Structure 1
Amino acid sequence: MQNIFAQIFALIAAAVVLVWVFKRIGLPAILAYLATGLLAGSHGIGWMTNSEEIHLIAELGIVFLLFSLGLEFSLPRLMAMRNIVFGLGTLQVLVTTGIGMMVLKLIGYNTLTAFTIAALMALSSTAVVVKVLKESGTLNIRRGQLAIGVLLFQDIAVVPLLIALPLLANSGGKDVAGAILFAFAKGAFVCIFLLAVGKWLLPKIFNEVASARSDELFVLTTILVALCAGMMTYAFGLSMALGAFLAGMMLGESHYRHQLEAEIRPFRDILMGLFFVTVGMELNLNYLADVWGWVVVSLIGLLVCKVIILAAAAQTMGERKRDSIASGLMLWQMGEFGFVLVALASKHHMFDAGTASFLIALGVLSMAATPYIIDKLDFILDTLNVSGGHDEGEQPQNNDLKSLSNHVVIVGFGRVGQTIARFLKPEAIPYVAVDFNPTLVQEAKAAGETVYFGHAGQKAILKSAGIEKARLVIISFVEYEKSLEIIDTIKRVAPEVNILVRTRDDTHVEQLKLVGVTEVVPEELEASLMLVSHVLFMSGVPMKRILRRVSKERQNRYAFLHGFFAGDTDDLRMEQQDRLEFLHAIALPENAFAVNKTIKELGLLQRKVEISALRRNGTEISMPDESTEILPHDVVLLKGKPRRVERAEQFLLDGLP
């Protein structure tokens, strides 16, 4: 147990250091994970001896990745993409496999080995491509949609391959067609069942979970749903990732989509990192040094062949040349399922250990180079003089939030949030609301409001609301601690955005200003201003004068409204008593220390207490200046925090410091 703990500790420590180093020098985190695996594996330093357990856990990363990918799609959207998935995807896999078989047979491989290698070469890496596209924000542009559609078909094609290869190895080709048809029948049954569960059962389950208002329960349910869907497809001999994708796709139609993605993201990213570590463990540098020339030639050949095949197929189906070549450059690498097929083929002695090591090296290096190629995609296309503007045809298909800019984000869509929205709408100011009340979100969305379910303290939820392009964020509830958490997240995602916060009173105004809030609206003081406005108007004061007074108070940060007389029934917490200012009247006798001294001589401002008024012989002197002399029997009105007022009273009466 201690040995396993030490190995895992060393693995995590190495990953943390390398990810930090790679990020500091501008390299993608995927390469850091691959380097970690290279160090930890048997071909590196070799401290990981329990790699089987690590591989098993790492496979869950693909499950969560496909679940989050499914959230990006709805069934109508998938049907709308059927030409890409089942048209372009089928064409790419079949043509790549066919051409690959011919080339490999010319080299000298037999038909079965050539088919196996060509089939796994035809597959691309969902893990790498989807992760990079998500990070770069290009998942929903046309080239990204082409890549995702082909990847989905490739993931589906893995199922018959996993069934067919052992049958081909053991039966010499007999009854293979029947086995594949049976596999497709099982797949169709599982897909229909999962789609039905996702359509009718999962929304009700998440309605109940969300109503409980428990973050832990929501996270646990999300993980459970993804794993259950994966386990079901696995039980039928299909890919776990396929089940997770179907579950995510069904939930992608619900208003919990953004919250689900936010909850699953930490687990997905950590486990995907672990997956790339396991990939790095398979790379044998000694073998690579011996055959590096052939590996480079093979990488170039793989890149050129897959780009030409996919670009030609996409253009045949009417896609733009620039998008076609771009999607080919995205999908040129070997995929993670290729490693699974290599292991399966090796187990059934379909090729030797040298070929397996060569394919693993080819897969690792192609996956490692892919983030660079995708990052430099436009530069490569411009260098190749591929026609087509950068923006032409590249607008997101899902324009609900992608096209929003200079909008208002309303955090909390209760009564106050809805009132704000009603005033924004007639002014044609776009807005997006986020709320954690499932019933409220459901009702609002049914009425056509742009409201999303989720906790605004999570980066993913704020990014879904387009906060980086927003003009203003309004926190419409009064809970101070909850507001601080959300403000901290906002500042990390969009540090320049303006933030307006509603509070119950002005207790925390200074603290909120210090953390970057643009404007604070204390509702009790604003209610006082509104009430005073009505009182003055009904008393005959001209409206122009009322508005001027109210505006002046707001500009002065409600200074005239600060300080009040406390009663013995005021229910104030200790921290409120320490922060709020009170008014306290003191009648000074003839022998009081302050008598015959000026306000300046008393130095009360140094004690952070001020005399807001004097009452003398029935006449009130409002805001007396520093030269005013205190006389016997004056009533002094002190304003300040309770403890300071108490000490100031003792000072005025007895002269005690």
Structure 2
Amino acid sequence: MELNLFAEILLLLLISVFLIALFRRLKLAPILAYLVAGVIAGPSVINILSDAKEISFVGELGIVFLLFSLGLEFSFPRLIAMRHMVFGVGCGQVVLTLLVILAICLFSGYDWQAALVVSCAIALSSTAIVIKQLTENGKLQNKRGQLAVSILLFQDLAVVPMLIALPIIAGGSDADLASSLLAALINGLLVFVLLIAVGKWLLPRIFNEIAQARSDELFVLTTILVALLTAAITHLFGLSMALGAFLAGMMLGESQYKHQLEADIRPFRDILMGLFFISVGMQLDIALVWASVHWLVFIVVIVLALKVFLIQLVARFFKQNKTDAWASGIMLCQMGEFGFVIAALALEHTLIDKHLASMLIGVGVVSMAITPYLVNRASLFAQFLARQSLVDAKPDNSNEHSNLSNHVIICGFGRVGQIVSRFLKLESIPYVALDVDPTRIHEAKAAYEPVHFGDARKIEILKSVNIHAARLVIIAFDDIAKALVVIDLVKKHAPAAKILVRTRTDDNLQQLFAAGADEVIPETLEGSLMLVSHVMLHSGVPVKRIFGRVRRERKNHYNGLHGFYRGDSYKQNEREIEYLHAVTLTERAFAVGLKLNELDLPLRRVEVTGIRRGDKEIINPDPDIALEAQDVVIILGVPRRVERAERYLLEGA
């Protein structure tokens, strides 16, 4: 069907938006939605794109931004602290899986190039899906979660040489393959040294100047320019563009601008990656896959079973717990998103044919679709495979709050929610918090805070935290529309629970009271009341009279505080705001065995506010306390100092 370019793009966007919304409802990864959109838009179904190569080219930029983001997340302190698991279990898993799959493919009659492509694609797992599920389930910091993360970290590192090697293998004959790889290695070392030097001495100064200009547009444009420019440099040396982007991200990942860079690049990365996966889906030949659907199912079963067995075998070889080894294998048995990247790259360089590419994509789609189910039930399956008692075993997604009663529910775990939680903890009042920020949840769960991913506007989420038995619901986020929905749900399903709402101003005070809120606390006016109370106290006004005046203002809904001159608001530089961060000490961390007063953390201008040791939480720990392996140390400071302190705790000076 012939359509103009605008209509083609519009129809493609319509298909993508619909499928992403549908897949989110089904709790499936957005990657799968893009792949299905590509299948529908491709020649196998309605063939709406007249020039798919242009979409594919633009989509390849998504790989550049993905590797740039991967470099930003690459942490030398984390790698060094987990080096025994990363370079032990992780390396062993990749190498063993590569060899076994390579042998199977060669035995099945494939040439060595195609066999290498298949083994590289299958050896990798889905970092995005597994990390997301572990974070939501609060399993990221336990032993099996750390084991899975270590394997994924090495897999991410292994992607870079794979992406470099495949075009070289496709470009030369078997005779000069060794010389081509040697030349690529030399070029890679030159590029590495060049970009290390630029990243260490030039990029931080550039971004310092950009940050002082206080221009969001300039910061974003500079970030995009750096990612694309480093990709172009490696391309000029005959290497993969992804390598340059990864190295640039890795250098900037050690800077104080890491989080801002990641936030700026994410929208471009997600959109371009979506286009890339659409282009991959367009290469899936439905007719070929349907004709071989029985083989597809068979291969998926074999791949899942084989990877589970191999991962647990390597983990057991490196002295990991039997149940943890099986659980890690179950969580990482799928094919990952980089498997699609390798399949697309190999097809582009004719290392594999279209039928094999379609089968690889099909295996990836099916295995990734069932990954959330496997991750959620990994512990249960692992206990069965390890032949442990199942009497006390429960699925990972069981409701851990089913016994909560007379507790407090905090909706929104930002600054206000966290301050409330600290005082509840001091008084031993049970509470649970809900939030939709994955980074915040990851940080809080690392410190074993009872916070969970979930939208408080959904009754299923409220029921999961036992809303019917709660004594108090605190709405700590500043969004009136969302607050009204939550109030309505609480009134319907837990009429006995009191509702406290925090707002920034009192603009919607009457509306919130009318909806059913028991108390509304406008923080701006409450701050003014506290200031006035101190002013009157220091001016000699009796305390009883002060309390009476404050009480009357609250009773009159702050009517006496209205009528003031408005001015331009001042936004504080968020890089100077202190925040909490949890650091898990591994067995070989520098700080293990040392006392707090033996560490120079005060000189680094950070504060240790607590230590989590097993099921015990130590608040404001004594300076003479000695740190132990698996301790979770909660430190307080501004971002750049917190990152330096984490590196010091794990590595030393």
The two structures have a TM-score, normalised by structure 2, of 0.63
List aligned pairs for 1:312-327, cutoff 5 A. Answer: 312-327=313-328
Q: Counterpart in 1 of 2:147? A: 143
Residues 507-528 of structure 1: CA deviation (Å, up to 9, x unaligned): 7866898999634343556555
Residues 72 and 111 of structure 1, relative CA distance in 2, 3 Å threshold: closer
Q: Measure, in 1, the Cα distance between the counterparts of 2:204 and 2:393.
A: 39
Q: Counterpart in 2 of 1:475? A: none
Q: Counterpart in 1 of 2:406? A: none
Q: Counterpart in 1 of 2:259? A: 258
Residues 335-388 of structure 1: CA deviation (Å, up to 9, x unaligned): 455455555655666555544443443344334444443344334334535659
Q: Counterpart in 2 of 1:23? A: 24
Find the partner of 2:173 among 165, 171, 174.
171
Q: Measure, in 2, the Cα distance between the counterparts of 1:286 and 1:266.
A: 34
Q: Measure, in 2, the Cα distance between the counterparts of 1:66 and 1:134.
A: 22
Contact 2:28 2:369 in 1 (8 A): no
Q: Measure, in 1, the Cα distance between the counterparts of 2:540 and 2:346.
A: 88
Contact 1:164 1:180 in 2 (8 A): yes
Q: Measure, in 2, the Cα distance between the counterparts of 1:226 and 1:195.
A: 14
Q: Secondary structure at the match of 1:68?
A: helix
Q: What's the Cα RMSD here? A: 4.7
Give the AA of the match of 2:301. I
Residues 428 and 215 of structure 1, relative CA distance in 2, 3 Å threshold: farther
Q: Counterpart in 2 of 1:487? A: 478
Q: Measure, in 2, the Cα distance between the counterparts of 1:364 and 1:27.
A: 11
Q: Counterpart in 1 of 2:301? A: 300
Contact 2:90 2:153 in 1 (8 A): yes
Give the AA of the match of 1:148. L
Residues 38 and 319 of structure 1, relative CA distance in 2, 3 Å threshold: same
Q: Counterpart in 2 of 1:608? A: none
Find the partner of 2:157 among 153, 156, 160.
153
Residues 54 and 94 of structure 1, relative CA distance in 2, 3 Å threshold: same
Q: Counterpart in 1 of 2:544? A: 545
Residues 90-116 of structure 1: CA deviation (Å, up to 9, x unaligned): 433332232233323333334454444
Contact 2:335 2:368 in 1 (8 A): yes
Matched, 1:374 2:380: no
Contact 1:55 1:275 in 2 (8 A): yes
Give the AA of the match of 2:97. T
Residues 428-454 of structure 1: CA deviation (Å, up to 9, x unaligned): 89xxxxxxxxxxxxxxxxxxxxxxxxx
Residues 197 and 547 of structure 1, relative CA distance in 2, 3 Å threshold: same
Contact 1:462 1:490 in 2 (8 A): no
Q: Counterpart in 2 of 1:328? A: 329
Could you tell me how far 1:39 is from its partner in structure 2? 0.9
Q: Measure, in 1, the Cα distance between the counterparts of 2:134 and 2:233.
A: 29
List aligned pairs for 1:56-205, cutoff 5 A. Answer: 56-126=57-127, 129=130, 141-166=145-170, 170-172=172-174, 174-205=175-206
Residues 563-619 of structure 1: CA deviation (Å, up to 9, x unaligned): 88xxxxx9679xxxxxxxxxxxxxxxxxxxxxxxxxxxxxxxxxxxxxxxxxxxxxx
Could you tell me how far 1:203 is from its partner in structure 2? 3.3
Matched, 1:518 2:521: yes
Q: Measure, in 2, the Cα distance between the counterparts of 1:490 and 1:72.
A: 35
Residues 510 and 346 of structure 1, relative CA distance in 2, 3 Å threshold: closer
Q: Secondary structure at the match of 1:171?
A: coil
Q: Measure, in 2, the Cα distance between the counterparts of 1:202 and 1:514.
A: 55
Contact 2:346 2:352 in 1 (8 A): yes
Q: Secondary structure at the match of 1:201?
A: helix
Q: How many matched pairs?
A: 499
Residues 87 and 189 of structure 1, relative CA distance in 2, 3 Å threshold: farther
Could you tell me how far 1:276 is from its partner in structure 2? 2.8
Q: Counterpart in 1 of 2:606? A: none
Could you tell me how far 1:43 is from its partner in structure 2? 0.7
> Which deviates further from its counterpart, 129-138 or 209-218?
129-138
Residues 227 and 84 of structure 1, relative CA distance in 2, 3 Å threshold: farther
Residues 469 and 36 of structure 1, relative CA distance in 2, 3 Å threshold: same
Q: Counterpart in 2 of 1:398? A: none
The one of the two structures with greater contact order (alpha-carbon pairs below 8 A, sep at least 6) is 2
Q: Measure, in 1, the Cα distance between the counterparts of 2:530 and 2:98.
A: 71
Q: Secondary structure at the match of 1:518?
A: strand
Q: Measure, in 1, the Cα distance between the counterparts of 2:202 and 2:163.
A: 26
Q: Counterpart in 2 of 1:6? A: 7
Q: Measure, in 2, the Cα distance between the counterparts of 1:377 and 1:326.
A: 5
Residues 323 and 69 of structure 1, relative CA distance in 2, 3 Å threshold: farther
Q: Counterpart in 2 of 1:439? A: none
Q: Counterpart in 1 of 2:458? A: none
Residues 111 and 61 of structure 1, relative CA distance in 2, 3 Å threshold: closer
Q: Measure, in 2, the Cα distance between the counterparts of 1:147 and 1:225.
A: 29
The two structures have a TM-score, normalised by structure 1, of 0.63
Contact 2:166 2:346 in 1 (8 A): no
Contact 1:133 1:144 in 2 (8 A): no
Residues 165 and 283 of structure 1, relative CA distance in 2, 3 Å threshold: same
Could you tell me how far 1:133 is from its partner in structure 2? 5.6
Could you tell me how far 1:196 is from its partner in structure 2? 3.7
Q: Counterpart in 2 of 1:280? A: 281
Residues 200 and 319 of structure 1, relative CA distance in 2, 3 Å threshold: farther
Residues 71 and 553 of structure 1, relative CA distance in 2, 3 Å threshold: farther
Residues 205 and 92 of structure 1, relative CA distance in 2, 3 Å threshold: same
Give the AA of the match of 1:180. L
| 5+ residue gaps, structure 2 | 395-408, 428-435, 453-475, 488-498, 568-653
Q: Measure, in 1, the Cα distance between the counterparts of 2:372 and 2:336.
A: 13
Residues 92 and 177 of structure 1, relative CA distance in 2, 3 Å threshold: farther
Contact 2:553 2:560 in 1 (8 A): no
> Which deviates further from its counterpart, 80-89 or 512-521?
512-521
Q: Measure, in 1, the Cα distance between the counterparts of 2:256 and 2:271.
A: 26
Q: Measure, in 2, the Cα distance between the counterparts of 1:303 and 1:17.
A: 30
Residues 554 and 230 of structure 1, relative CA distance in 2, 3 Å threshold: farther
Residues 27 and 536 of structure 1, relative CA distance in 2, 3 Å threshold: same
Q: Measure, in 2, the Cα distance between the counterparts of 1:465 and 1:491.
A: 24
Contact 1:68 1:245 in 2 (8 A): yes
Q: Secondary structure at the match of 1:43?
A: coil
Residues 489 and 356 of structure 1, relative CA distance in 2, 3 Å threshold: farther
Q: Measure, in 1, the Cα distance between the counterparts of 2:60 and 2:38.
A: 15
Taking every aligned residue pair, what percent have the same amino acid on both sides?
40
Q: Counterpart in 1 of 2:604? A: none
List aligned pairs for 1:447-466, cutoff 5 A. Answer: 466=444
| 5+ residue gaps, structure 1 | 392-404, 412-419, 430-457, 472-484, 538-542, 565-569, 574-657
Contact 2:15 2:37 in 1 (8 A): yes
Residues 345 and 210 of structure 1, relative CA distance in 2, 3 Å threshold: closer
Contact 1:61 1:271 in 2 (8 A): yes
Residues 449-476 of structure 1: CA deviation (Å, up to 9, x unaligned): xxxxxxxxx95776577599689xxxxx
